[in-house]
Structure 1
Amino acid sequence: MKFLAIGFVFGMIFISLDSCFSFQIPLTTRQSFPARSVSVTGANRQKDDKIHRSTLPRLPNNIYARSAPHDVLYHRKSTELYSHCASSIVPVVWVLTSVLGGASGTPFVVKSTQTWYTTIPLPSFTPPNRIFAPVWTVLYALMGIASWRVRQTIISMQSASGNPILSFLQYNIIPFSFIHYIMNISWAPIFFGLKRLRMGHVLNVLLLVTLIPIIGIYFSIDVWSGILLLPYLLWLGLATRLSSEVCKLNPTEVKLGYWYNNAKLQDQIWKLRKEAGKRVGFES
């Protein structure tokens, strides 16, 4: 759990920096010279470079513009290699951070599905517990890819939409998506950890309501990014319907407190049974 938390924190820091700075390194503007027909080597080359340096302007950090074609070619190749490595690493970090953040709620889910969650009445269409982990892992990965693609497209956008409101939303969609993501990973601690079923359902509704415009803006920026979020929309719709039915089957007892519901009752019963088992020596 500590490893997941540390990885998630470092990943979010990386994504924040990546959203502010581009990893593409522009080539330094160089003065071009006509190719020479005679190969220059050794002492002649040093003399030739000295003559050129005396006539060339200095670039920042006292670097002279060089006329040697192979120097320019080497710089271009090294820059392209760095940009290629960066463009390969960045999306992986976005995806891993998204998945690690989603996995932060796993301990609450695992503990609940092994105790009180199995004892409360659930809707007939409740999916098996074993499919939740792989489904959410895939969905978080798709969310990371979609956000990265949108971020890349925003960086390369030449002009914004003619609509000022749409332009504002397009250029600020990554922070909005981040807020939605924080709401998403907060659901498991609220629903399973605190056993506040109604609050979890309200949060599901807010997630569904905010996801629809986010997908629309993603489509306006990059079509494939919007398509990648469609499975998440479908699953979130199912989760919202499921949480609604769970609240109906496990109503809140107002007399015992606004947040007291069957989930809390079953959790207390489970703890009492476990404590009783320890007292009689059935459990350690």
Structure 2
Amino acid sequence: MTSGLSTSYCDTVPMDMISLLMLLGFALATFGAGATGAIFRPGEWYKRLDKPAWRPPDRLFAPVWALIYATIALSGWLVWREGGLSDAALPLTVYTLQLMLNAAWSPIFFGLHRADLAFFEIILVWLSIAATILLFYPISAGAAVLLLPYLAWVSFASVLNFAIWRRNPSPVRV
């Protein structure tokens, strides 16, 4: 004899609804990580820095990041959909790590005004994205491919970060 109490919430909600809620969750987590860029903005300090002539205009960064964050969210959702939370635990853990590292860059660079520390931190972001791509590929090649523009943009951002640091050496603070 089975009682209705043993039925889990997931058994009573249609899969399409769960999938949609998970997509929303991935979007909220990803854009939440990106929110640090809205909180820690360039400001006057950044305007006064010596920057390379090849730097894109400031107005380009927000739309590029918005598109990239959308692809990051979609990528994570695709891996969840294919592998689930249990079968894709390691890839989704590394995915979460790269989001956390991504979120840390703006407070370091724009908040602390530390281009030097931000450069080393963005290298960790790059490595975590590369690891995420490698771990996602066997589960969903499409999810891995969706992260390639992110890796390319962070590669460019790393070079820009390095150039700004070299042109504006940060004092070592304790």
Query: Which TM class, normalised by the smaller chain length?
Result: 0.7 to 0.9
Given the alignment, which residue of 155, 158, 163 partners 1:240?
A: 158
Does residue 123 of the first structure (1) align with residue 52 of the second (2)?
A: yes
Does residue 60 of the first structure (1) align with residue 17 of the second (2)?
A: no
Let me know the Cα RMSD of the aligned residues.
2.5
Partner of 2:37: 105
Does residue 196 of the first structure (1) align with residue 114 of the second (2)?
A: yes
Cα 1:249–1:61 shift into 2, 3 Å: closer
Cα 1:185–1:248 shift into 2, 3 Å: same
Structure 1 residue identity aligned to 2:133: I
Contact 1:173 1:214 in 2 (8 A): yes
Partner of 2:134: 216
1:170-208: CA deviation from partner (whole Å, max 9, x where unpaired)? 541111211121111010001000001100000011111
1:203-282 counterparts in 2 under 5 A? 203-253=121-171, 258-259=172-173
Structure 2 residue identity aligned to 1:195: H
Cα 1:156–1:97 shift into 2, 3 Å: closer
Structure 2 residue identity aligned to 1:237: S
Partner of 2:23: 91
Alignment length (residue pairs)? 170
Given the alignment, which residue of 64, 71, 95 partners 1:135?
A: 64
1:156: how far off?
A: 9.2
Identical residues among aligned pairs (%) = 27
Contact 2:101 2:125 in 1 (8 A): yes
Does residue 184 of the first structure (1) align with residue 102 of the second (2)?
A: yes
Return structure 1 stretches of 4+ with deviation > 6 angstroms.
none
Structure 1 residue identity aligned to 2:79: V
Structure 2 residue identity aligned to 1:229: L
- Cα distance in structure 2, aligned partners of 1:236 and 1:209: 10
Q: Of Structure 1 and Structure 2, which has the larger fraction of its residues in helix?
A: 2
- Cα distance in structure 2, aligned partners of 1:171 and 1:107: 30
Q: TM-score, normalised by structure 2?
A: 0.87
Contact 1:177 1:214 in 2 (8 A): yes
- Cα distance in structure 1, aligned partners of 2:45 and 2:85: 50
Contact 2:36 2:104 in 1 (8 A): no
1:128: how far off?
A: 0.7
Structure 2 residue identity aligned to 1:125: W
1:60-92: CA deviation from partner (whole Å, max 9, x where unpaired)? 359xxxxxxxxxxxxxxx96x732222223212
1:26-74: CA deviation from partner (whole Å, max 9, x where unpaired)? xxxxxxxxxxxxxxxxxxxxxxxxxxxxxxxx32359xxxxxxxxxxxx
Gaps of 5+ in 2: 6-10
SS at match of 1:122: coil
Partner of 1:155: 84
Cα 1:144–1:92 shift into 2, 3 Å: same
Q: TM-score, normalised by structure 1?
A: 0.55
